[in-house]
């Protein structure tokens, strides 16, 4: 009986080992044959293959899954400088079934081009990452592209690049670098894409509507119906809609130059760069022109640097030095003298030494916290550009100071949120999430600070400006003519100037008052004086009866030529700045960003169209633009609202 049981047990054990071996073998075969692996099939930087500095640039990447199981996880965009990841990786959630592909989009902040490489990472293995081609940077005019129809096999040969309509951003914050769009059909867009397109035009974009294949203009519906204008050229906010009685196939380089580039009144015209493809470019004369060095006018780094120094600790260094000397004296000769006095009692000697170290550690910890504010707080500067009543595209520069260590989720209310630490030379412990849950999640040690760049589409109290009275006159202005790397002409001309201006400013929320205001007309900046209106609450009168200041003078750009070489540049920044100085310099820099001045040449060539006035209003930081979170209750800063006010001819 016992032998029968033994044989049955052996048989069952053999069967168990057989099934286990079979399962293991099948599992290994399934893992080796049924796998997933992503591949990068296409990529495109920006709208025309180029990126703009100090912007959140669009990056579109098509990813395919040639494997046999779905991919469900996160994919990261990393920026590599040298051998390290700088800034924070941008994380996007991706689900991709086998045998399919999908476009995913990132919005990395780029300050300069040529020193970094980029890659996508979707796992820990060496095969679970893919390198991206480095972007090409440009300081040329914003992109002018043809909107390509989905599923279109081929389009006519046009003298400018194309952009696929399905890749158009879902928020106006993603339209950096786009200047003009040529359209010959009604795009098949979601409501978010339609709203982003309309907002982009209101904030200065140019839409050129041309005839479709049937010889008729496209009929725009939905949110795009506001663009279905019947006039040849009409303004919409700060942008313009223009119809051309030509088919798309007629827009060769010469037609684009004559019908679009020469009539572009908002963007800097650089037609010489448009003609670089010419086989025989016109030679530049050796005489008759002055060489110059076009200086970069940075915005992001100076603003973040100035905000960060507002939380610089103001320690009592006399007290710290005294305590340091006292500590050293107590250790030696103090503890040594005690040891000599109580020979052999090592417990007393070492106990006294440890107690001295512990007490002075607590004292230094307490003294080190003095002068740091001793509370978590945020200093911010915000530029709010009004797209329509109560809706703004907001660019932000912030510095977060934390007294308690931990993971901080930094985000705002609003849509289209984009974030960066603004660090292009060092990494940080954290990630940047995109999409609906967009935020910068940073691991911050106690008593440390973190800089933050942001772009959001937000709602806030409506700020309006209406012209009560205006009087125009003539004045002198210097006009520069450039060709390649030379100034070929510099002359003084008579131009239109403001002699008298009175604006009515309305703020739709009690308690938020204008602190200062400026008006930009043509080539000059006018400081406005403010007074409360007696006619209605929350209404202020801004007036100017003095002359304006030339843009180069206001933005501190010099044009002095020394030995044939001009000294283009801007004044430096003070080493020590208080809140007043930081806010004053911040307002100037935000105006520079709003007018898209990247170089000294931009300032010298700029001319705002004379059918409008750009009004800038400085206020306290509205709560709608605060960073969210129970840890961030103490916030302060300034907001600069920009409004483009039409200037009626009969006024």
Q: Vertex 257, ends 251 and 263: CA angle to 5°?
A: 115
d(CA 184, CA 248): 7
Cα 181 from chain centroid (whole Å): 21
Tokens of 531: 């007074």
Is 387 a residue whose pLDDT tops 80?
Answer: yes
Is 398 a residue whose pLDDT tops 50?
Answer: yes
Min mean pLDDT across 9-23, 247-261, 332-346, 364-378 is at 9-23
d(CA 598, CA 641): 20
d(CA 61, CA 127): 18
- Residue 274's pLDDT band, with cuts at 50, 70 and 90, is very low
d(CA 52, CA 634): 34
User: For residues 171, 175, 176 and 179, what is the CA-based torsion angle, rounded to 10 degrees?
Assistant: -150
Tokens of 113: 């081009």
Rg (CA), the chain: 31
The pLDDT tens digits for 500-531 are 999 999 887 766 889 999 999 999 999 999 99
Q: What is the largest CA-CA distance in the chain?
A: 121
d(CA 385, CA 392): 5
Cis preceding linkage at 333, omega within 30: yes
Asked if 495 and 471 count as a contact pair (C-beta separation under 8 A), the reply is no
**H or E stretch covering 588:** helix 579-594
Mean pLDDT of 68-85: 90
What does the pLDDT read at residue 561? 46
- Extract long-range pairs of 531-536: CB within 8 Å, 24+ residues apart: 533/504
Cα distances (angstroms) measured from residue 199 to each of 30, 281, 386: 51, 39, 9
Mean pLDDT of 229-244: 84
Is 115 a residue whose pLDDT tops 80?
Answer: no
560 or 185, which is more confident: 185
Cα distances (angstroms) measured from residue 565 to each of 295, 298, 560, 597, 600: 13, 22, 9, 22, 14
191 or 366, which is more confident: 191
- Per the DSSP assignment, residues forming a β-bridge with 163 are 147
What does the pLDDT read at residue 609? 85
The pLDDT tens digits for 537-594 are 778 999 987 788 999 999 988 765 433 444 444 444 445 678 899 999 999 999 999 9
d(CA 52, CA 142): 8
Query: Which has the closest alpha carbon to 109: 336, 547, 423?
Result: 423
Is 78 a residue whose pLDDT tops 90?
Answer: yes
Percent of residues, the chain, with pLDDT higher than 70: 81
The pLDDT tens digits for 321-331 are 888 888 888 88
What does the pLDDT read at residue 75? 94
Is 405 a residue whose pLDDT tops 70?
Answer: yes
Is 624 a residue whose pLDDT tops 80?
Answer: yes
Cα distances (angstroms) measured from residue 501 to each of 378, 495, 505, 546, 609: 37, 17, 13, 9, 17
Query: Mean of the per-residue pLDDT values for the chain?
Result: 82
**Cβ atoms < 10 Å from Cβ of 430:** 20
Mean pLDDT of 271-299: 54
Model pTM score: 0.83
Mean pLDDT of 463-467: 92
DSSP assignment of 178-241: EEEEEESS-----HHHHHHHHHHHHTT-EEEEEE-TTSSPPPP-GGGGGG---SSEEEETTEEE
Query: Which has the closest alpha carbon to 265: 182, 141, 158?
Result: 141
What does the pLDDT read at residue 354? 87
600 or 18, which is more confident: 600
């Amino acid at each position: 009986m016992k032998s029968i049981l033994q044989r049955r047990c052996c048989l069952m054990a053999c069967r168990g080992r057989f099934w286990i071996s079979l399962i293991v073998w099948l599992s290994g075969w399934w893992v080796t044959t049924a796998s997933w692996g992503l591949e990068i099939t296409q990529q495109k930087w920006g709208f025309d293959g180029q990126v703009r500095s100090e912007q959140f640039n669009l990056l579109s990447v098509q990813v395919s899954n040639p494997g046999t199981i779905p991919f469900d996880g996160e994919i990261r965009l990393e920026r590599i400088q040298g051998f390290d990841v700088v800034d924070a990786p941008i994380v996007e959630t991706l689900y991709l079934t086998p045998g399919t592909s999908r476009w995913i989009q990132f919005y990395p902040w780029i300050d300069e081009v040529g020193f970094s490489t980029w890659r996508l990472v979707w796992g820990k293995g060496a095969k679970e990452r893919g390198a991206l081609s480095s972007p090409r940077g440009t300081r040329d005019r914003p992109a002018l592209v043809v909107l390509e129809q989905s599923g279109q096999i081929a389009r006519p040969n046009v003298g400018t690049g194309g952009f696929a309509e399905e890749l158009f951003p879902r928020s106006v914050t993603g339209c950096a670098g786009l200047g003009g769009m040529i359209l010959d059909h009604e795009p098949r867009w979601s409501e978010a894409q339609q709203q982003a397109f309309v907002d982009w035009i209101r904030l200065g974009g140019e839409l050129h509507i041309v005839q479709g294949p049937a010889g008729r203009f496209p009929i725009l519906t939905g949110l795009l119906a506001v663009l279905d204008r019947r006039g040849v050229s009409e303004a919409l906010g700060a942008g313009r809609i223009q119809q051309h009685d030509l088919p798309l196939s007629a827009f060769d380089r010469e037609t684009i130059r004559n019908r679009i580039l020469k009539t572009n009144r908002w963007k800097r015209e650089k037609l010489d760069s448009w003609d670089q493809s010419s086989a025989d470019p016109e030679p530049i004369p050796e005489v008759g022109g002055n060489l110059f060095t076009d200086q970069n006018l940075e915005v992001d780094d100076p603003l973040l640097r100035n905000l960060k120094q507002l939380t610089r600790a103001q320690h009592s260094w006399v007290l710290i030095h005294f305590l340091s000397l006292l500590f050293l004296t107590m250790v030696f000769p103090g503890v040594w003298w005690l040891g000599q006095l109580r020979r052999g009692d090592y417990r007393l000697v070492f106990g006294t030494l440890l107690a001295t170290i512990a007490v002075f550690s607590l004292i230094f910890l307490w003294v080190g916290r003095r002068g740091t504010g001793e509370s978590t707080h945020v200093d911010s500067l915000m530029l709010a550009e009004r797209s329509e009543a109560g809706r703004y595209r907001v660019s932000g520069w912030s510095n977060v100071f934390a007294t308690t260590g931990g993971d901080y989720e930094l985000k705002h209310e609003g849509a289209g949120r984009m974030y960066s630490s603004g660090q292009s030379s060092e990494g940080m412990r954290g990630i940047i999430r995109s999409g609906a849950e967009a935020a910068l999640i940073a691991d911050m040690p106690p008593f440390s600070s973190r800089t933050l760049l942001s772009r959001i589409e937000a709602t806030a109290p409506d700020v309006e400006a209406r012209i009560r009275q205006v009087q125009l006159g003539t004045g002198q202005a210097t006009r520069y003519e450039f060709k390649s790397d030379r100034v070929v002409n510099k002359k003084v001309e008579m131009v239109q100037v403001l002699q008298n201006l009175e604006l009515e400013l309305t703020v739709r929320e009690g308690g938020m008052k204008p602190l200062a205001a400026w008006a930009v007309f043509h080539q000059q900046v006018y400081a406005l004086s403010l007074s409360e209106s007696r006619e209605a609450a929350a209404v202020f009168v801004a007036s100017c009866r003095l002359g304006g200041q030339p843009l180069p003078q206001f933005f501190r750009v010099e044009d002095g030529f020394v030995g044939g070489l001009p000294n283009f540049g801007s004044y430096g920044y003070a080493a020590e700045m208080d809140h007043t100085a930081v806010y004053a310099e911040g307002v100037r820099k935000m105006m520079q960003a709003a007018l898209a001045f990247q170089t000294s040449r931009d300032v010298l060539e700029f001319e705002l169209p004379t059918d409008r006035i750009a009004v800038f209003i400085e206020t306290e930081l509205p709560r709608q633009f605060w960073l969210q979170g129970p840890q961030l209750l103490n916030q302060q800063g300034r907001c600069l609202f920009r409004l483009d006010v039409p200037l009626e001819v009969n006024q």
